[in-house]
Amino acid sequence: MEIFDTPNSSNISRVGHDGKVLVVTFKNGDEWEYSAPKSVFEEMKKAKSVGSFLHVRVKGIYNGRKRD
């Protein structure tokens, strides 16, 4: 899985993509996965705000679920 850390984000600690799903790890330890393609992950890496990108370009557009 390709992963990048997001130290400047107030809410997200890292984001990854395993070729099938986008995985978002929050600073509180929760992990969510979204059915977003790798191209969304690549765009997210370039975003000024990863949290804003997640809210506008991922949530509500791609199916998501909390990982156990």
pTM equals: 0.92
> What does each C-alpha distance from 54 to 1, 6, 31 come to in angstroms?
19, 13, 13
Given this model, what pLDDT does residue 47 score?
A: 95
C-alpha 21/C-alpha 44 separation (Å) is 13
**Residue ranges of the chain whose pLDDT lies below 70:** none
Q: Which of 15, 21, 25 is nearest to 47 (CA)?
A: 15
- Domain residue spans in the chain? 2-66
pLDDT score recorded for residue 43: 96
